[in-house]
Structure 1
Amino acid sequence: MESIVLAQPVENNVVDVLEQSGVVDMNPGPEPFGSEELAHRCQSASAVMAFMTERIDAEFLDRCPELRIVAGALKGYDNIDVDACSRRGVAVSIVPDLLTDPTAELTVAMMIALARHSMPADRHVRAGKFNGWRPTFFGSSLVGATVGIIGAGKLGQAVMRMLTGFGGPRLYHDVKRLSLEWEAAYSAEYVSPVEICRRADSVVLALPLTAETQGIVDAEFLKQMRPQAYLINTARGSLVDEAAIADALEAGTIAGYAADVFEFEDWARVERPWSIEARLITSPKTVLSPHLGSAVTDIRRQITESAADSIIKVLAGGLPDTVINRPYLKGR
């Protein structure tokens, strides 16, 4: 039978379904296998379900000659060398839609937490300092605020939709402009990134990580933001220079930073840092979460079910819609 490796633990029902197509070798978790262990387990495997923690590159693929599919239980796939997979006849599938709404929801939650100083207020109460109402921790409101969104793909659009109940102008930028109908429906105005920095109370990053977007938020970008503005990143850690953000927070160039993603997570970057910028962790002006964008129980189950379905179809000789490298059948 086919060998199927699951790089992280998944739900029992997903394992049960996959066992109808092959022998399943699942990481008991929660820590990832590590590159050496994963390659060893996949050396005779036909399929691997990969997550954000795995780096699938040419070296890995050369050690796993029987692989037919890398099923990503993810939307962003910068940790998978798709070209290397295609050259070796390996399909790559992703889960394009399920992560969008929960990540957008978390984005809005982080915007509110920053504006209302929820984190320092929480620490104040837990430290036993709350003695009744005092005129402290005054913040700003998301109601009527100007929000700028850089990236108008599915995540950026979902954030716009969720913000409609708050009113206020919606600015956005992307390489491709949305339709006039969309802009009218969600009160969205297409402007340059510089204009977003100049006008927005909150700037949301909703971009994929590519060679062009890596480090797009640097010291120069931050200097263009308003000193009372907040920056929110729930997309990819390496869109930003974390050290530059820490500098900006200390200098008062921006008012706060919220992140669910961090530079050290982006395994495709050989030169990535090995930890979160320490000053972001100690700063009272940050809201940080451990990559919780899609951490909704039902959503995670659906994500792994989708990845499993892609594995089953490819092992049966099919071509699921979730496969992103159509030329993979060459030579088979």
Structure 2
Amino acid sequence: MNTPSTAPKILVTNPIHAEVQARLQRVGIVEMNHDTEPWTQQQLVMRAKDADAIMGFMTDSVDAGLLAKAPRLRVLACALKGYDNYDVDACTRAGVWVSIVPDLLTEPTAELAVGLAISLARNMVSGDAQVRRGEFQGWRPRLYGTGLAGATVAIVGLGCVGQAIIARLAGFGCARLVGIDPVQKLPGLESLVLEEALTVADFVFVAAPLTTSSFHMVDARALAHCKPGQFIINVGRGSVVDEEAIAAALETGSLGGYAADVFACEDWGLAQRPAVVPVRLCAQANTLLTPHLGSAVRDVRLAIEHRAADNIIAVLEGHEPADAINCPEFHRGCGDDPVLWNTSRGGYGLRR
């Protein structure tokens, strides 16, 4: 058993459930952010200097600069699926494992996506506001919306979330489903390029991760192709769409509505990310904007934390993390014989 002086330090950047914290405390000393506000990058760098493991969240960014000041770091366990705010290549060069939670966020995010589409297209927020203002005195011929039945639906990004959205749409009687993905093609699903899909779709679900090629994929040029009255629902990453272009399309009426659970201000890996959600976007009545609730299901969040903890514990106990997305350079090749941890980064033996 590790003594306090030799126990590894585990940095947890956001509050986690007590039972997960207790698991981590059995293998190391846990330093956790107990505030709901994230640490600044400077605070994270300072606290990571003697950390052996980090449980990171969407509010964090780990780059080469932080890694250079964290010589003991062995594993970065991301309690998330999308990892665009983490420099995986830099971690690989520094000999640091990076793990994610690949599957637990899929179903709740897909559920929310369909819920956003229905709420937006059926004017639920406006209707709720009317009732609360005391304006409802019985049925009136107002707030007519659009349903999924008979609609043409496009899904941008056919990864796990995109496929889960398709599965959940099966019972709504959509007339046509099309997919937009440069790599993934699904049997039986019509495949179109983005501009073609925008010309025919009544609903567009954005479920693509943020990459250099997907940044501002849905911009003013793409939106010029959109079918009048179209609804766009973004549960991928904020910067996959150009939020200012979305606001402009809503103002002119060329776009019927926009729902989002993700925003460009959250994309920590971008140097030029905005500080807040654009006021111009928030001012549009035909929007539904939720504060990143995709995985905000109690049981799911607990399971995500446990999964991230599993990956930390595996490395601290000398094993490869099950959900690794890289093969650190101290490894002589993933799939080869067991090798030793680079002794310059902690001197621990590594076993598969």
Residues 261-319 of structure 1 show CA distances to partners (whole Å, capped at 9, x for unaligned) of 00111011101111111122121100000000000000000000000000000111111
Contact 2:96 2:328 in 1 (8 A): no
Aligned counterpart, 1:56: 62
1:139 corresponding residue in structure 2: 145
Cα distance in 1, alignment partners of residues 218 and 152 from structure 2: 19
> 1:28-67 counterparts in 2 under 5 A?
28-67=34-73
Aligned residues: 326
Q: Which residue of 2 aligns with 1:238?
A: 239
Query: 1:190 offset after TM fit, Å?
Result: 1.5
The residue matched to 1:60 in structure 2 has which SS?
Answer: helix
Residues 201 and 230, structure 2, Cα contact 8 Å, conserved in 1: yes
* Equivalent position of 2:217 in the other structure: 216
CA pair 65-238 structure 1, distance change in 2 beyond 3 A:
same
Distance of aligned partners of 1:210 and 1:84 in 2 relative to their CA distance in 1, 3 Å threshold:
same
Residues 200-227 of structure 1: per-residue CA shift (max 9 Å, x gap): 1001111110000001011011110111
Distance in 2, Cα, partners of 1:53 & 1:177: 29
The AA in structure 2 aligned to 1:207 is A
CA contact (8 A) 2:205 2:233 kept: yes
In structure 2, the residue matched to 1:326 is 327
* Equivalent pair of 2:232/2:257 in contact (CA under 8 Å): yes
Q: Does 1:116 align with 2:122?
A: yes
Tell me the SS of whatever aligns to 1:92.
Answer: strand
Please report how far the alpha carbon of residue 106 of structure 1 lies from its aligned counterpart in structure 2 after TM superposition. 0.3
Aligned to 1:72: 78
CA drift at 1:123? 1.4
Q: Which residue of 1 aligns with 2:183?
A: 176
Render the CA deviation track for 1:98-150: whole Å, top value 9, x for unaligned: 00110000000000011101111111111221122110101011122111001
Amino acid in the other structure paired with 2:264: E
The offset of 1:64, in angstroms, is 1.2
Query: Residues of 2 paired with 1:328 and 1:235: CA distance?
Result: 30
2:30 equivalent in structure 1: 24
Secondary structure (helix, strand or coil) at the match of 2:23 reads: helix
Structure 1 Cα separation of the partners of residues 69 and 116 of structure 2: 42
Indicate the structure with greater helix content.
1
Alpha-carbon contact 2:79-2:308 (below 8 Å) kept = yes
After superposition, what is the alpha-carbon deviation per residue over 1:71-110, rounded to whole angstroms, capped at 9, x for unaligned?
1000000010011111111110000000011000000000
Once the two structures are superposed, residues 176-215 of structure 1 have per-residue CA deviations (whole angstroms, 9 ceiling, x without a partner) of: 24342xx2xxxx3122212211111001111110000001
| Counterpart Cα distance in 1 of 2:212 and 2:327 | 22
Give the % identical residues.
Answer: 47
Question: What are the equivalent positions in structure 2 for 1:199-278 lying under 5 Å apart?
Answer: 199-278=200-279
Could you tell me which amino acid in structure 2 is paired with residue 202 of structure 1? F
Partners of 2:228 and 2:202 in 1: how far apart? 9
Is the Cα–Cα contact under 8 Å of residues 89 and 328 in structure 1 kept in the other structure? yes
Which segment is superposed worse, 190-199 or 79-88? 190-199
Residue identity opposite 2:308 in structure 1: A
TM-score, normalised to structure 1, is 0.96
Segments of 5+ residues of structure 2 without an aligned counterpart are 1-6, 332-340, 343-352
Alignment-derived partner of residue 5 in structure 1: 11
Contact 1:116 1:138 in 2 (8 A): yes
- Does 1:92 find its partner at 2:81? no
What value does the CA root-mean-square deviation take over the aligned residues? 1.1
The alpha carbon displacement at 1:328 in A equals: 4.2
Within 5 A, what are the aligned runs for 1:289-328?
289-328=290-329
Distance 1:179 1:149 in 2: 12
Counterpart contact for 1:4–1:48, Cα < 8 Å: yes
Alpha-carbon separation, structure 2, partners of 1:121 and 1:19? 49
Name the SS for the 2:209 alignment partner. coil
Which residue pairs with 2:280 in the alignment? 279
| 3-state secondary structure, aligned to 2:76 | strand
Aligned equivalent of 1:198:
199
Moved over 2 A (4+): 176-180, 327-331
Q: Which residue of 1 aligns with 2:335?
A: none
Structure 1 position 166 matched with structure 2 position 167: no
CA contact (8 A) 1:198 1:224 kept: yes
How far apart are the structure 1 equivalents of 2:71 and 2:41?
Answer: 16
User: Aligned equivalents of 1:278 and 1:25: distance in 2?
Assistant: 36
Displacement after TM superposition at 1:60 (Å): 1.1
